[in-house]
Amino acid sequence: MKHLRKCILTLLFISTLISCNQKQDSIISEEKIVPKFSQKQQDSLIDIYLKNGAWKKDMYSQDWQNEINKGLEVDSTIAYFWQQKAMPLFKQSKYELGMPFIDKAVKYNPKKWQDYRAFIKCIFSKEYKEAIKDFKNYQEKYGYGFVMDHSYNFYIGLSYLQLNQFEKAEKLFKEDYEKTIKENGKGWLHHLDLFYYGISKYELKKYEEALELFDQALKIYPQFSDVQYYKAKVLYKIGKPEEGEKLYEIAKENANKGYSINEDNVVYERYPYQVRWP
């Protein structure tokens, strides 16, 4: 009987081991008991496994992931470890692999990483409804704020644009526009915010208002080819085809010179309404 029980336990162990090895990058079990380290001790672990570990490896390599896994074996509650596992996967468009890791980061430090996750859903994985939910939930808990240089309303508005809910997008862009001017003045308006606010007007066929916003964006960033392209389309629609054609050619020249949306993450993802030139 003892021998049979031992055989059964051995087979179960082998089966479990095979199952674990078949996972490409298994998430460390939540049930694993982890030590409770102080913030100072966790900072030391970050130095060991990130600064002197993963960050010395190729970001897109398995070595990067393995170094972080070593840290997670010591303390799986460090949210930054999970975010650093997810980040290079998103930059490789491996959204399904990265999302469970960023979910873990949010679990262990929601105030730090939930707005980042919502940003990822909007710009990277294009889960617009989920991005809206995440941003709204975050604002309910922590209030109005910014991530990656833009307000939460900006990304929610962007998500509404991508869902063809143009009135909702316009409303949010207007709120941010007026809030910025009231609190900081027109000098704080961002050319990308103005571009998308103008796009919401364009989609609602409010062409004169769209032109005004596009012109404001071009005062800040005169070579912004995407704005010039949509402004040219508006000029065609309001009966100014010659002006539109001339501006279209200028936009194309500027696009060829690289004057497009200049957000940091544009090297990884095409932004909404970014022009695909023939």
- List pLDDT tens digits, range 150-172: 999 999 999 999 999 999 999 99
| Entry pTM | 0.87
Answer whether 138's CB lies under 8 Å from 114's CB. Answer: yes
Look at residue 146 and give its three-state secondary structure. strand
Give residue-wise pLDDT tens across range 120-137: 999 999 999 999 999 999
Average pLDDT estimate for 243-248? 98
pLDDT of residue 15: 42
Q: Give me the phi and psi of 164, to 5 degrees please.
A: 60, 25
Structure tokens at 22: 């078949």
Written as one string, the DSSP assignment of 17-46 is HHHHHHSSSPPPPTTS------HHHHHHHH
Burial of 74 (0-12, 13-18, 19+ CB in 10 A): middle
- Percent of the chain clearing pLDDT 70 (strictly above): 87
Range with the lowest mean pLDDT among 6-15, 32-41, 58-67, 189-198? 6-15
Average pLDDT taken over every residue of the chain: 91
* CATH architecture for segment(s) 190-278: Alpha Horseshoe (1.25)
Average pLDDT estimate for 231-241? 97
Interatomic CA distance for residues 216 and 186, integer angstroms: 10
pLDDT of residue 278: 86
